[in-house]
Structure 1
Amino acid sequence: MKKIALVLIALIALSCNSKAQEDKKERTFPVSKSNEEWKEILTSDEYYILREAGTERPFTSELLEVKKPGTFVCAACETPLYKTKHKFDSGTGWPSFDRAVDGNVVTDTDYKIGYARTELLCATCGGHLGHVFDDGPKETTGKRHCINGDALDFKPQKG
């Protein structure tokens, strides 16, 4: 009886995971390229993060300490994603923001580590940026967009 229950639980878990992956594959984005095309324009680290949904090691991003006014854009398609004024030090080792530029980041559900997390994607090219959590600054949005620095480029504010 225990074996049957375990098998049923495993089948339910796998069917949920498969459905999430199917939904993600069906989503289309305005900028679409083949894997080969992405590999030609992205560094290996950018490709790993943006196209394979990888995660960089904490405290390794050059963008972690950037505080000057400007905009963080998608490293793949240059869509403006985050403003420095919404960046904060979360202590996690990844660039963190309490909100994205309106309409430029979309969410999906990620089950890669065995439970559901809210994944953040560039709304233009579908590149994986990171995840959003509910432990951000309470005085603003309460959200923490935990972003891989290799998914971003920084454009300083002019003037």
Structure 2
Amino acid sequence: MSTEAEYRISTRRSRLSFYAVLAVHALLLGAILLWQPQVWHWQSFAQWGLALAVVLSAITSAFRKTRTRVFNLDEQGHWLYLDEEGQPLQIDPDSRISPLMLWICLRPRFSHQPKQWFWLFRDAVSETDYRRLCRIIRRITVSKDVS
């Protein structure tokens, strides 16, 4: 029996993620609407068509339901999703920490399948869980740098 602590972490919808998606769509919309006018014949139709596509994409992205994920994590970075039949994963040393989000890289522990990458925004988990994840990622990335 292991004496190592194991944590149950659940994610929720992130407001920061919502704002990031809207900001990216706003940048795309601005880039489309700032084209030099009338460079080619049907440009205004193409421009407004692309602008409409970006606005529709922003609306669907903003109101898309995000799935709550639940996983177990231990101090060694062993990760196991509890809400699906998943394989055991390991936090990879390529993961990164920032004040607003974590860039998490997970690799399968017992197979040679590709790594999984995703953003985990600070407000998607509790403050305690965010700090815990930061500590574990920091420990894993520092141990990679030392070896």
TM-score, normalization: structure 2? 0.32
Give TM-score scaled by structure 1 length.
0.30
Which one has the largest radius of gyration? 2
Q: Normalized per residue, which structure has more helix?
A: 2
